[in-house]
Amino acid sequence: MKNNFLPHIEDFLLDLTNNNYSLETVKNYKRDLFIFYRFLKLQNLSFKKTNKKTITLYKGFLKSKKYLEFLEGIDDYARDDGNISKSSSKGPRSDESDKSRLSSRSINRMLSSLRSYLRFLIEFDYKTPLAPDAIKLIKTERTISQVAEFVELVKLVEFPSSFEKNKFIAKRNRAILELLFSSGMRISELVNLNLEDLDLTEDRKNIRQGKIFIMGKGKKQRFVYLTERSKKYLSEYLSLRDDSFTALFIPTKGTRLKMENVEKIRISARYIQARIALYRRYLGIIVPTTPHSLRHGFATYLAEHGASPAAIQHLLGHESLQTTTRYVHASDKFAEESHRKYHPLKK
């Protein structure tokens, strides 16, 4: 990727880093702005002459399928929420690969990256072709949050034990899914876990405490909690570990195992996404199900059993309660039961 594809872009990224933005966030800004740069090149437009019409054209570009071809060569472009995806004909595909366009939320996120970049240029007295506030976000569609039935999620979590032929993979993948559903953590948080993040016995085979202190999105720290069941399957997985690797979850093959830096040897988010997609297809689960779905299900079913939104907000690591309500608003099942129970014209 060209380093200085937009004026002062390296200064902008450095400023983000110096303001304590996470490495992943900085990479996301860089990727979003690189796509804008590629759009300008495609349209034979100059950044210096960017105007409101340019932004209108850019919105149309993002809403079309054309943006997909410009993701080639951009590493780690897939967002945690699954709204940006790239289809592939090789190997298992994530459920989101069937989506051929960006959601309105993803488009707004990319427009916000451009806004932030323009604000930086103004703040540092660089020439700016367009005022940040001239970039209007698009109206977001109202979607019904979907999460698989509880019994289906349980089947998904348990599936590796019977499906995977390799004992280590079966134990590891079961522990991964148990941990995701037990704690509600993000997949990015899970793959970044190290053995030292758990309170382990000296032989590293058993977990003494049922909570993990993690660094979440935006470098926000919080505790996540384990069920006794998830501790059991994590311990079974750890009993098979006899290595010096740092990560909690490690791959069994591939180029990652050849890295000299043991801290970089860890399972990838893409592997987990692809495996969950495969499990879902074998189980015949109709509702699109991803690692994020386990987090969504975690919040939904806690809410249905009486957990307060404030508690769920803390467990999910959300800064705003408004963000949490997207997860814990009454589910379809809960709404249906309420309708049946309280509607005045029952008969």
> For residue 3, is pLDDT > 70?
no
Please indicate, yes or no, if residue 143 is contained in any of the structural domains: no
Task: Place 13 in a pLDDT band, splitting at 50, 70 and 90.
Answer: very high
279 as an active site residue: the answer is no
pLDDT for residue 139: 86
- Whether residue 67 is found in the same domain as residue 26: yes
pLDDT tens-place string over residues 16-40: 999 888 788 888 899 899 999 989 9
Q: Give yes or no for residue 93 having a pLDDT over 70.
A: no
185 compared with 324, residue with greater pLDDT? 185
Q: What percent of the chain has pLDDT over 90?
A: 39
Give the model's pLDDT for residue 340.
67
**Residue 181 confidence (pLDDT) above 80:** yes
Mean pLDDT within 97-120? 82
> Among residues 109, 134, 159, which one ends one of the domains?
134
Q: What is the pLDDT of residue 89?
A: 33
Indicate the pLDDT class of residue 92, thresholds 50, 70 and 90.
Answer: very low
pLDDT over 80 at 224, yes or no: yes
* Tens digits of residue pLDDT in 115-156: 999 999 999 999 999 999 999 998 876 655 567 788 898 999
- Tell whether 1 is covered by a domain: no
Kindly state whether residue 222 falls inside one of the protein's structural domains: yes
Q: Are residues 199 and 311 in the same domain?
A: yes
Q: Are residues 163 and 119 both part of a single domain?
A: no
Q: Clarify whether 295 is annotated catalytic.
A: yes
Averaged confidence pLDDT in the chain: 80
pLDDT at 122: 96
Is the pLDDT at 240 greater than 80? The verdict is yes
Last residue of some domain: 75, 107, 134?
Answer: 134
**pTM (global) more than 0.95:** no
pLDDT in the model for residue 8 = 94
Chain-centroid distance of CA 46 in Å reads 33
If one counts the domains in the chain, the total is 2
Could you tell me if residue 2 is inside a domain? no
What pLDDT shows up at residue 278? 94
Q: Output 196 or 22, whichever has higher pLDDT.
A: 196
Both 167 and 241 in one domain: the answer is yes
Q: Which residue's structure tokens are 């079966």? A: 170
Of the candidates 186, 231, 275, 296, the residue annotated as catalytic is 186
Kindly state whether residues 130 and 162 are assigned to the same domain.
no
233 is catalytic: no
Task: Classify residue 342 as exposed, middle or buried by CB count within 10 Å of its CB (0-12, 13-18, 19+).
Answer: exposed
Instruction: Phi first, then psi: give them for residue 318, nearest 5 degrees.
Output: -85, 140
Looking at the structure, tell me whether residues 173 and 307 fall in a common domain. Answer: yes
Q: Are residues 115 and 163 in the same domain?
A: no
Task: Give the residue numbers spanning the domain of 83.
Answer: 9-134
In the block, tokens 């599936």 appear at 159
Tokens representing 243?
């290595």
Query: DSSP label at 247?
Result: B
- In angstroms and rounded to an integer, the radius of gyration of the C-alpha atoms of the chain is 22
Exactly one of 27, 86, 217, 222 is catalytic; which is it?
217
Q: Which of 92, 108, 134 is the last residue of a domain?
A: 134
Query: How large is the average pLDDT for residues 29-52?
Result: 92
φ, ψ for residue 269, nearest 5 deg: -65, -35
pLDDT at 298 over 50: yes
Distances (CA, A) of 123 to 29, 32, 103, 291: 18, 20, 30, 39
pLDDT band at 303 (very low <50, low <70, confident <90, very high): confident
Q: How confident is the model at residue 67 (pLDDT cuts 50, 70, 90)?
A: low
State the CATH number of the domain containing residue 328.
1.10.443.10
Nearest to residue 178, comparing CAs of 228, 222, 246, 216?
A: 228
Same domain for 327 and 181: yes
Let me know whether 276 and 326 are in one domain: yes
Q: Which of 266, 295, 296, 301 is catalytic?
A: 295
What is the model's pLDDT at position 200? 81
Crossing angle of helices 23-42 and 104-123, rounded to 10° = 90
Q: Would you place residue 204 in the very low, low, confident or very high pLDDT band (cuts 50, 70, 90)?
A: confident
Q: Do 210 and 326 sit in the same domain of this protein? A: yes
pLDDT at 333 over 60: no
Look at residue 83 in the predicted model and tell me its pLDDT: 34
Collapsing DSSP states into helix, strand and coil, what is residue 319? coil
169, pLDDT greater than 50: yes
The answer to whether residues 326 and 228 belong to one domain is yes
Q: Are residues 129 and 160 in the same domain?
A: no
H-helix segments, 184-268: 187-191, 228-238
Which residue among 318, 339, 342, 343 is the active-site one? 318
Q: Does residue 219 carry a catalytic annotation?
A: no
